[in-house]
Amino acid sequence: MINSIWNDSVDLKKFDTLKGDLRTDVLIIGGGITGILLASKFQELGVQYALVEADRVCNGVTLNTTAKITSQHSLIYNKILKEYGTEKAKLYYKSNQEALEEFRAKCKKIDCDFEEQDAYVYSLNRSDIINDEVEALNKIGAEFEFTKSVSLPFTVAGAIKFKNQAQFNPLKFINAIISDLKIYENTKVLSFDGEAFITDRGRIFSNKTVVATHFPIFNKFGLYPLKLYQERSYVIALKDAKQVDGIYVDENSTGLSFRNYKDMLLLGGGSHRTGKEGGNWHELTKFKNHFYPTSKEVTRWATQDCMSLDGIPYIGEYSKIAPNIYVVTGFNKWGMTSSMVASNLLSDLIMGNSNEYSDLYLPSRKICHPQLFENIIESTINLITPTAPRCPHLGCALKWNNAERSWDCSCHGSRFNEDGKLLDNPATADLKIKHRNH
């Protein structure tokens, strides 16, 4: 069974479809947790807004998250410190710690299975990079511990522990804050004509607009097809597997993650660039059979994450040539605290307030990173590959994903089912399949 563990935990409220034209001060495009948090913020501030979602709210990446609320984002701090300096690394830590505390405060009033947990990033054999992260964390004054004692079924070279982090059920949380929000579902934004946003139901006029569509859907400005790529990762939920005493993630991007939910162990991993080969559920099943041979798989699912060039999300002005349009993307698998950071930062920018984190997350920051050239090479190869079908986003060749029975784009991550129905953006149209040769 392919079904997120959160899928049947609540019955989310349904919202009407937009019929005709709409005028609003603020338009939010995208109904994942980021869009919902931002809509909730504007509701509290008394700002006129509307949120439009192409499908049902929280039916995409938010539905498939493992919902770790933590400021420990693998080995990000040494990376930021080397690239941008100590002050930027401090700001990243501070912004995510504040986001964690805001979730903690909100969840005190909400029944959403919120639990405080210690978070660990571990390495199987690279004590050197763990030590480098320890040095970086000491320089920025972060609270952490180094340890080799972990409740995993294998030994590690070292681990970094952030105490008092958290996990929750994201749909229960969303369900508690969504009921009074102004939302239109099944309302797909197709384009922007310079004056209004064109939907399949009418035109939307707004003074300020936030594009919170996971991968930005407008290609004419911002260079997001170069600045982002997407990764697939996989989860299996196990019963009768020994539980862990916190939240765990491997520093290696192809490694495993662990967290508990009720009486289940959520085992994640098998990651790969969308459209490429990877471990997927096969890798997780192999691990389960070796380390948890008596456990039972309850369900399995997959998710997709936007990866930025430098490991820091893009939150702010969409482009210098697109005034009054804002973007939030590139959460690099850490969407919970990042979504809260984004809601606070974007609400400040839209309200004309200063925010100390705006330069850190600036989408138009420098793009000369090794990942940029990897993205260019991948896109070039797929643009000149003479096979069908082609992605309607920018024309890249699609690859057949046998594990998930889908057509996937390794350029930018759009995905389609075997009949051509759009599964993941940035494409906005279904795929027209004339033949299948997989």
* Of residues 230, 246, 249, the one with CA closest to residue 303: 230
Q: Pick from 80, 101, 83: which is nearest to 92 by CA?
A: 80
Q: Let me know: does 240 contact 194? Beta carbons within 8 Å.
A: no
Evaluate whether 120 touches 161 at the Cβ level (below 8 Å). Answer: yes
- For the CA atoms of 176, 177, 182, 183, the dihedral, rounded to the nearest 10 degrees, stands at -60
Residue 239 main-chain phi, psi, to 5 deg: -100, 155
> Torsion angle of alpha carbons 117, 121, 124, 130, nearest 10°?
-140
d(CA 136, CA 415): 38
Segment 297-324 shows an average pLDDT of 95
pLDDT confidence of residue 323: 85
Write out pLDDT tens, residues 109-128. 999 999 999 999 999 999 99
Find residue 199's DSSP bridge partners. Answer: 189
Rounded distance between C-alpha atoms, residue 170 and residue 335, angstroms: 11
Whether 195 contacts 27, CB under 8 Å? no
At residue 168, the pLDDT reads: 98
In sequence order, what are the residues at sequence separation of 6 or more whose Cβ sits closer than 8 angstroms to the Cβ of residue 352? none
Give the pLDDT band (50/70/90) at residue 308: very high
Cis peptide before 386 (omega within 30 of 0): no
Nearest to 199 by CA among 18, 60, 38: 18
CATH top-level class for 370-424?
A: mainly beta
Own/partner pairs, 372-375, CB within 8 angstroms, 24+ separation = 372/226, 372/227, 372/309, 374/229, 375/226, 375/227, 375/228, 375/229, 375/309
Residues 260-306: tens digit of each pLDDT: 999 999 999 999 999 999 999 999 999 999 999 999 999 999 999 99
In angstroms, the CA 22 to CA 199 distance is 10
User: Minimal CA–CA distance to 229: which of 334, 340, 376?
Assistant: 376
Interval 340-399: pLDDT, tens: 999 999 999 999 999 999 999 999 999 999 999 999 999 998 888 888 789 999 989 999
| Distance in angstroms (rounded) separating the CA atoms of residues 423 and 398 | 13
Residue pair 255/224 in contact (Cβ under 8 Å)? The answer is no
Both ends of the chain: CA-CA distance in Å?
23
- Give CA–CA dist 364/27, Å, rounded: 22
Give the pLDDT confidence of 130-182 residue by residue, as tens digits. Answer: 999 999 999 999 999 999 999 999 999 999 999 999 999 999 999 999 999 99
Beta-bridge partner residues of 407:
400, 416
What percent of the chain stands above pLDDT 70?
99
CATH number at 22-65+172-227+310-351: 3.50.50.60
CB-based contacts of 437, cutoff 8 Å, min separation 6: none
Domain chopping of the chain, boundaries: 22-65+172-227+310-351, 370-424
Cβ atoms of residues 399 and 408 within 8 Å: yes
Sign of the Cα torsion 165, 270, 32, 426 reads positive
Tokens of 77: 């701090």
How many CA atoms lie within 13 Å of 174's alpha carbon, on the beta-carbon side?
28
